Amino acid sequence: MIKILIYIIFSSFNLHAIGFDALNIPSDSMDMSLSGSGIASQYFETTNPSSNIEESSKIGFSANKWIVDIKGNSFYYINNGYKLTYSNFKIDGIELRNNSPSDSPLDFIESNLLSIGLSKGYSFSKKIKFGVGIKYHYNQLFIDKSSALTFDLGMQNQLMNNFQIGILIKNLGLNNIDIPTTYGVGSSYYLKNTKTEFLADYIYSKHYSSGVNLGLIQSIKIVTLNIGYSKFSNLRTTLSSGFKINLNKKYNLLYSLLSIQNSNFGLAHYFGFEISL
C-alpha cells in the first residue's frame, strides 16, 4: 500500500523502500535492544569489528520483524576473532500505480535487501584493539536491482580498568551508489561489582547530521538485560530493550523490541537463539 511505502521512506531516513539506507536497520537482537549503541562496549560483540575478539566460537540465528511489514532473518558465526554475518529483509504488498487516480493498483511488488559480511578483530596489546569488516549488499525493488560493497573500520582503547573508548567508520563505500557513511565515537564505563555497563555514542553522517545513542547492559546471574535510546537529529527517536538468557553453558535465548517515538509504525521485534560451539 502507498501508506506502507511512505512509512518505509520515513523510517529509512527518506530513501526508497527498502533501499540501501535500510542498512541502518539492526541486523541482530543485541544491536536492536541497545538502539545501535556500543561502539566502545567492553564485553559484548557489537557493530564495531574491533569487539569481535572471542576465544570461544558461537553461532546465532534470529527471526526479525522490523516496523510496519518489513520482516527478515539473520545469522552470525564468530570464531577466533572472525565474524560472519548474514541478514535479509523483505516487504510484500507495495502498490504499483501510475499518475492517474484509480481504485485499484496496477500491480503489487516487493522489495528485498540482503547483506553478507565478514569482519576480523585484532588485539595490538592488552588495551588496544582494531577491527576491519567488509560487506556485500544486494537491493531489489520490482525489476530494479543493484549491489554495493562497503567497509567498516573500528578501534577500541581501554584507558582505565573500567573505562574504554571506541571509534567506528561504518558503510565506507567504493561504489557509484550514494551510501551514507557513518562516523562514530563512543565510551563505555563498566562497574565490575554490579556487572553494569554504561554506553554512550556520538554519531555523524553527512546526510543526516548528528545523533546520540545511549545504552545500558545489566547482567544478573543467567540473565542479561539491555536498554537503549537513540536520537538522530530531528528525524528519529527510539527506545529499545531486550534480554539474553543463558539456558545453560551452551544455549542462549535472546529477545528485543524497539519503538520509534511519535509514530504509528508499531513495535519491532527480534527473537534469537545462540549456541556456543
**Residue 199 phi/psi, 5° resolution?**
-120, 140
For residues 72-85, average pLDDT: 90
For residues 202-214, average pLDDT: 86
One-letter-per-residue 3-state SS of 150-161: EEEEEEEEEEEC
Look over the chain and give the mean of its residue pLDDT values, rounded to a whole number: 82
* Predicted local distance difference test score (pLDDT) of residue 2: 36
Taking only Cα atoms into account, the Rg of the chain, rounded to an integer number of angstroms, comes to 19
* pLDDT tens digits for range 82-127: 999 999 888 765 555 555 555 565 555 567 888 899 999 998 888 9
Other CB atoms closer than 10 Å to residue 133's CB: what's the count?
23
Residue 3 in grid coordinates: 501508506
In CATH, what number does 2-276 get?
Answer: 2.40.160.40
Q: Looking at per-residue confidence, does 11 or 66 come out higher?
A: 66
Q: How far apart are CA 191 and CA 25, in angstroms?
A: 30
On the question of pLDDT at 15 being above 50, the answer is no
Instruction: Indicate the range of 153-162, 171-180, 252-261 predicted with least confidence.
Output: 171-180
Highest-confidence segment of 22-26, 184-188, 264-268: 184-188
On the question of pLDDT at 12 being above 80, the answer is no
CA-to-CA dists, residue 236 to 37, 140, 159, 209, 260, angstroms = 15, 25, 32, 12, 7
Percent of the chain exceeding pLDDT 70 equals 79
* pLDDT tens digits for range 30-48: 888 999 899 999 888 788 9
Residue 16 in grid coordinates: 526508497
On the question of pLDDT at 18 being above 50, the answer is no
* Predicted local distance difference test score (pLDDT) of residue 41: 92
Domain ranges for the chain, please list them: 2-276
* pLDDT tens digits for range 214-232: 999 999 999 999 999 999 8
* Predicted local distance difference test score (pLDDT) of residue 147: 83
